Amino acid sequence: MTASAPEQPLIPQPPATVTALRQAIAQIAPAALPAFTRELDQAADQARQGSDLAPLRRFATQWAAYVQIQRQPRVAVRLRELEDLAESDDAAQVRRAAAEIGGILDDAYAAVARAER
């Protein structure tokens, strides 16, 4: 049996800027655009109120990680499956799903951090 070739991402990982992330989401997950816009508005309001850019940095990092996951169809599908499993009544299944979700998120945030260097 031969190993299958690694799956190619749908798009390259964009820089963690509002414009680049919005364009990426429009391409690979257009249904998420309203949430993106709503959360951007909230982060901008928090940044203005606190005179601090941290809310905007968190927003960009969070959405960059989202794009990192969504641009890899197998990872995105697996994450959705795990999210469904995490809602089960089986505590052991919930723990396993949560652990795997944590791994996916850790990998996505690590990839974003590497890209920012």
Q: Considering the entire predicted model, what is its pTM?
A: 0.89
Is 88's pLDDT higher than 50?
yes
Both structure tokens of 12? 């390259």
Neighbours of 60 (CB within 10 A): 21
d(CA 50, CA 97): 36
Q: Which of 2-16, 18-32, 39-53 has the lowest mean pLDDT?
A: 2-16
**Residue 1 confidence (pLDDT):** 46
Is 5's pLDDT higher than 80?
no
79-114 burial: b if 16+ Cβ within 10 Å, else e: beebeebeeeeeeeeeeebeebbeebeeebeebbee
Dump pLDDT digits (tens) for 55-73. 999 999 999 999 999 999 9
d(CA 56, CA 38): 13
DSSP assignment of 38-102: HHHHHHHHHHHHHT-SHHHHHHHHHHHHHHHHHTSHHHHHHHHHHHHHTTSS-HHHHHHHHHHHH
